Chain A
Amino acid sequence: MVFSSLLFLFRFLPVILLLYFIVPRGWRNAVLFFGSLIFYAWGEPVYVVLMLFSTAVDFTHGWYIRRSLDAGRRGRAKIALISSVVINLGLLGVFKYTDFIIGLVNGALGLSIPQPGLPLPIGISFYTFQTMSYSIDVYRGDADVQKNIIDFGAYVAMFPQLIAGPIVRYQTVAKELNDRQESPSLFADGIALFMAGLGKKVLLANNIGLMWDAVSALPAAQLSAAAAWLGALAYGFQIYFDFSGYSDMARGLGLMLGFHFPLNFDYPYISRSVTEFWRRWHISLGTWFREYVYIPLGGNRKGLAAQIRNILIVWMLTGIWHGASVNFFIWGLYFGVLLVMEKLFLLKWLKRCPRPVAWLYTTLAWLIGWAIFASVDNAAGLPYFAAMLGAGGAVDSTALYLLRNYGVMLIICIAGSTPIVKRLFVRVRRAVGGADGQGMLWQLMFSAASIVLFVICTAYLVDATYNPFLYFRF
């Protein structure tokens, strides 16, 4: 099930909220756990077993690691930790990378080993990373062991962040899992975030996604440079508003239920270096790789050569985390190389040059990045880059028509990817909402805006000719 569906908004969400708040506090994790299983099983009626398996593996491993540590047997704890990591990565490997690896082997050795073609379980890359974080946190002493499997299951399966993040590390929510305080004002904050996310996904991402579809449907050899760059821009906006919209909805739902999930996107498109971009884009994934891969590899503590190696390893992994396909690997490596270059010298230059220049460099970097990222289904990558460089002319009527049809949408997307809207929201709230931001006029305005946004989103969902789920490869 996805948030941006009538079924979620008008069936699942009201029922789960009702159950959640009428049961005694001690039962809320159970409601969350079983509700989340239904949420997940709705889209994956078979693979839900896999998620339960992953949950059980890390629950037992975490328990064993803690017990071994308490008994002073660090070696055993380490073996259990390795076992947990191997099982989780094994699940990922089998269900996500088998076809890819066999394809590579076949290509390299001229073999024709059949590919099993297993469908990828939704969200597997998110929940395996979460369950792994638990075992590692327990091993490192960063988190207490969770003694109740229902509570642990609620953490893993928690429907707000289950299928598209943010990747919530166990230590982040460990306390709230057993001791959290829901409240009407938290709920109201949750509504604001959820509405913002729903609007981003349904109104902005789906709409600008149609523009990218229009471009990608054309043969790359026929694209003018303007059309190709507009296409990459549209794709960049689609993935940003879709992904950050999901994260906002997840965080909003979390607040409604009393959880504080970490910020996942912080206006990445205003960045003035690639280093900054990756501090603002999919923050929870970057944090995960930093905490569990980069720092354990030695981070920046073992000399420059080792640091460069570590950066490249992390970025190759980040690349293929996004999908089992060569273009994601290249995409990751591309950013790895840019980051190394920035580390070595570029960042110093960028700090000194005028801000617009640094911004332009960064924007070009991620636009080219998205063109690599998007060329997954075909070998259109190279012709597309040729078109970006002007192989098909500078401007054509296709490009002009795209601007004619999506011009207003593009302007809204540009504004929406900066902090302007949020600042406006905060300023108006301060102006009309009084010192505590809860004045009657503000609450009425906020409610009216919610109704308008919700009604328009509903209209788009009823007429859902185009409502893709972009993370089925993750």
Chain B
Amino acid sequence: MEKKTVWIPVITFLALIFGGMVWGILKPDQAYSDTENRYLASRPEFSWESLFSGSYTQDYESYITDQFPMRDQWIGLKTRTEMALGKAETKNVWLADDDYLIVNYPASDFEGEQAGKNRDTLAEALAYYVDSLGEDHVRVLLAPTSSQILQDKLPSYSQVYDQSQYLDEIIAAAGTALQSAGLECGAEGLFVGAKEALLAHKEEYIYYRTDHHWTTLGAYYAYCAWAKSMGFTPVPDAGLQTVSEDFWGTTYSRLHAGGRADVISVYDTDTEVKLTHNLTEETSGFYDWDALSTRDKYAVFLGGNDGLLEIDRIEEAEAGSAADKSVLLVVKDSFANSFIPYAMEHFDRIVVVDLRYMNMSLRQLASEYGVTDLLVLYSTQAFATDATVFKLGR
């Protein structure tokens, strides 16, 4: 004789699977995830062709997964479970000391085909720009990621790929390219020693806890190293002003648990500038304060990433003729965004190019703008893996 109690687990189970189904169907689809900075999969269009090729069913599964209700909370629950299981690393993120979430970039990022291509593109481009601008006017700054500098915070026995290996390869390739272009300068001096500059301050707040970027203080130390190598006197202190104490960055968005809110500070400069975004939209000042009230607070610097950004001083528009103006071309990823306000101390004009969103010829652009100096500034990892670096050679 069966007892009625046997229905309890049965009804529980059915409630879970039916509940999940009904909830998933009723929940309106979301096009974009602010926290993951990506478009979520949408309901695939049915066609017989896509059905037989298998793409329809695959897309449908991604759709169910991406649109699952309370996605971020589920991901957070998973991370917490991982922590409870004593994991030191989850989803290639180290759960490090002092509430740091540190991305573990694999060796393959730096040893793959793309990394090799980008190394050679940069070497060739350096030969070209050293030839046209002079060796004192060309610099490369490849920022190490936090795993390189904050090793003391990593879990014990962590295996960290040493990004300097890749940097050394680039320097060697650049040396060869310069030599075969008949230039007498060595490659060594073109590269800013960002790693050493940051290591000297590794106890300070130079990387965000929950984001892959360096903080403005980290950018300042790298800036000092760059300025000295250019023969400038760097501004004496970082001049930081705190603008947000509630920043949760991209690394946190992978995990939705762990870490601690970051503080965003900006360089509090007196220099008044006008920003021209992609030749059309004008704004004033280095900072887009509206970004602080969104999820992507890092976009406060320069208003995010534009393909082409011109930065001009407002008060000095009349001074000097165009010919003696110093114009810095920065080819960069988002690591440069907090760095550029410091660099502006030494130039009349800065032209910022983000190759991911820019398709003009860089050489032509450099000559049209009367560029006098070049800085290539990327995080080492982004440089090694970015598929648009080839545009550096055009």
Contacts and interface: CB of A to CB of B under 8 A. Distances in A.
Interface of A: 5-7, 9-11, 13-15, 17, 42-43, 45-46, 183-185, 187-188, 191-192, 207, 397-398, 400-401, 404-409, 412, 436, 438-440, 443-444, 446-447, 450-451, 454-456, 458-465
Range for the number of chain B residues in contact with chain A: 35 or more
B24 A185 contact: no
A444 B88 CA distance: 35
Contact of B9 (A13, A446, A462): A446
B24 A7 contact: no
Given A9-B20, A456-B77, A443 B9 contact: yes
Interface of B is mostly: helix
A46 B159 contact: no
B89 interface: yes
A241 B248 CA distance: 36
B8 A459 contact: no
A311 B18 CA distance: 49
Given A10-B20, A192-B9, 8 more contacts: A45-B51, A45-B52, A397-B159, A401-B157, A405-B88, A405-B89, A447-B9, A450-B13
A30 B108 CA distance: 51
B30 interface: no
A11 B64 contact: yes
Interface in B11-29: 12-14, 16-18, 20-21, 24
Most B C-beta atoms less than 10 A away, residue of A6, A10, A438, A440: A10
B78 A11 contact: no
Contact of A463 (B7, B18, B24, B74): B74
A187 B12 CA distance: 12
Given A397-B157, A455-B77, A464 B2 contact: no
Nearest to A408: B86
User: What are the 9 tightest A-B residue pairs by CB atom distance, in nearest-first order?
Assistant: A401-B157, A462-B74, A408-B86, A10-B20, A443-B8, A447-B12, A459-B77, A459-B78, A400-B157
Interface string B68-104: 1001001101100100011111010000000000000
Contacts, number: 132
Contacts of B89: 405
A207 B21 contact: no
Contacts of A407: 86
Interface stretch (B54-62, B233-241, B315-323, B367-375): B54-62
B65 A404 contact: no
Most B C-beta atoms less than 10 A away, residue of A45, A397, A405, A462: A462
B38 interface: no
B6 interface: yes
Interface of B: 2-3, 5-10, 12-14, 16-18, 20-21, 24, 51-52, 54, 57, 60-61, 64-65, 68, 71, 74-75, 77-78, 81, 85-89, 91, 155-159
A447 B78 CA distance: 21
A451 B16 contact: yes
Given A45-B51, A46-B52, A6 B64 contact: yes
B20 A458 contact: yes
A458 B172 CA distance: 49
Contact of A405 (B12, B60, B74, B155): B155
A184 B16 contact: no
A254 to B, nearest CB: 15
Contact of A9 (B17, B71, B156): B17
A438 B64 contact: no
A463 B92 CA distance: 13
Contacts of B21: 10-11, 14-15
Contact of A458 (B12, B18, B74, B91): B74
A133 B130 CA distance: 76
B8 A447 contact: yes
A205 to B, nearest CB: 14
A17 B74 contact: no
Contacts of B159: 397-398, 401
Nearest to B86: A408
B155 A7 contact: no
A392 to B, nearest CB: 14
B20 A404 contact: no
B57 A43 contact: yes
A151 to B, nearest CB: 26
Contact of B65 (A6, A401, A409, A443): A6
A204 to B, nearest CB: 11
Most A C-beta atoms less than 10 A away, residue of B51, B64, B91: B64
A131 B18 CA distance: 34
A207 B85 contact: yes
B74 A184 contact: no
Contacts of B156: 400-401, 404
A7 B21 CA distance: 9
A7 B78 contact: no
Contacts of B6: 184-185, 188, 438, 443
Contacts of B3: 436, 438
Given A7-B64, A464-B65, A42 B13 contact: no
A462 B68 contact: yes
A153 B295 CA distance: 54
